Structure 1
Amino acid sequence: MARVQSRAGTAGGSESQRKPTAADLQRRETRERIFGAAIEEFKRAGMAEADIGSIVAAAGVARGTFYFHFPSKEHVLLELERREEKRIAAEMTRFAKTSGALPDLLAEIVRVVVAAERRLGQLLFKDVLAVHFSPMRPPEDEWTDHAIIVVLVEEIDRARQRGEVDPSVDASLSAMYFLLGLYALLTTTQQSKAIRTFMLDNFVAQAWRGMEAR
C-alpha cells in the first residue's frame, strides 16, 4: 500500500499507542461512515464523477469533515486498495498453508482477485487499479509496501528452495509481472465468462511454465 495517508490516518498511528477515548472512537466511526458512503457513490458513478455532496449527505457530515478524513477522493481509493490488499494477502497466506504447490497458489490469486472485482463491481475495481498505478503515488513507494506481492514473493522463494522453480528466476520480478499481467487481463478482457475463464487459466499455466524448474 502506498505511504500516502490522510491526516486522520496519520493520527491513527499515535492513537494505537494509548487507549482510545470516546472522541477517538467517534472519529473512527465517522471516518468509516464517510468511507462507506464514498464507496457506494464510487460504485454508482465512478470516482471521477462521484459527487462529494452526495457522499457527505449520505454520511450525515459536513463537507469539511470529508476532507479532514480524506484530503481527496483518491485517498478513499488508496484506503480501499490497502484494505483489499490486506484481505487478499490473508487469503493467499491461508491457502499457501494448505497447499504448497505454487501453480495452485497462482490459480488461487486469480480466484480471489476476480472475487474482489465481482464484490466491488467493474467500475470501482478499475478505479482502484487506476489509482494503484497513478503517478500521484510517492516515488519511494516500493513493492514491499504491497501485501499481495510480498506474500507471492515469499511463496516463489519457498518453491525455489524446494527445487520446483528455476534457480535463475527473480522472485520479486516474477511476482510483479504476474500481478501486472493479471490486472491488465481483467481490465481489458470483455469476452464471455467462458472465454475469460479460459484466458485466465491459460495465463496461469503460461506464468508457471516461465518459472518452473526444467
Structure 2
Amino acid sequence: MNTIQQLMMILNSATDKPSDTLIAYFNNCTVNPEDSILRRVESLGHIFRKKFAEAVGQGCAEIGSQRYQLGVRLYYRVMESMLKSEEERLSVHNFSKLLNDNIFHTSLLACALEIVMATYGRTASPSDGTSAETDLSFPWILSVFDLKAFDFYKVIESFIKAEPRLTRDMIKHLERCEHRIMESLAWQSVSNVLKQYLSLYIMHI
C-alpha cells in the first residue's frame, strides 16, 4: 500500500463539513465559531486554488481543488481529535478562545494541506499532470496563507498526536518542517526586525 492509499484510508470516513461532534463543541462555546470557521475555509480555499493554479498551471486547477478538499477533511478530523483529547485531559467543554483563534485554524489547515501536498508530491509524475508539484514543497504553504513559520510550528506536535494513523513518512515530513523552521525560517522575521532597527540606528549616529 502506497502513501496515497494510506491517506485515503485515514480520510475514508472524513467529511468536507464539521461533524455533529464538532458542531456540539462549537455550540458549547461562549462565542459560536462555526460561521467564522466555514467562512475561513471557503476564503482560504479560493486563495489556495488560485496559488496552486498559478504555480502548476491553469490546466491543473481541478487538481488544486481536490488537494484542498482532502486537506479540509484532514483539518476537521484532526480538530475533532484534538478537542476530544483536551476535553478528557482538562475536563473542559468550552473551547471558545481556541476555536475563535484565526491563527490556530489557519495553521492547522496549513498543516493538513502540507501532509496532503507532501503525500502527492512524492509520487507526482508528468503523465498525471502534477510533476510541477515539486515546486510546492514546504514552506510554499506558508506563503500561500501568509502564515508565520513559528505559528505553523506550534501546531505540529499536537497535529501528530491527534492523528495516530499518520504514516511514518508523514510524521517524518512534519518533523523535517519543524527542524527547518527552527534552523532558519523562524528567525527570518526576527532578522528583518533587527535589520530595520540597525538601519535606523545607523541613520542617527
TM-score range, shorter chain: 0.3 to 0.5
Report the TM-score, using the length of structure 2 for normalisation: 0.34
Report the TM-score, using the length of structure 1 for normalisation: 0.33
**Larger CA Rg, structure 1 vs 2:** 1
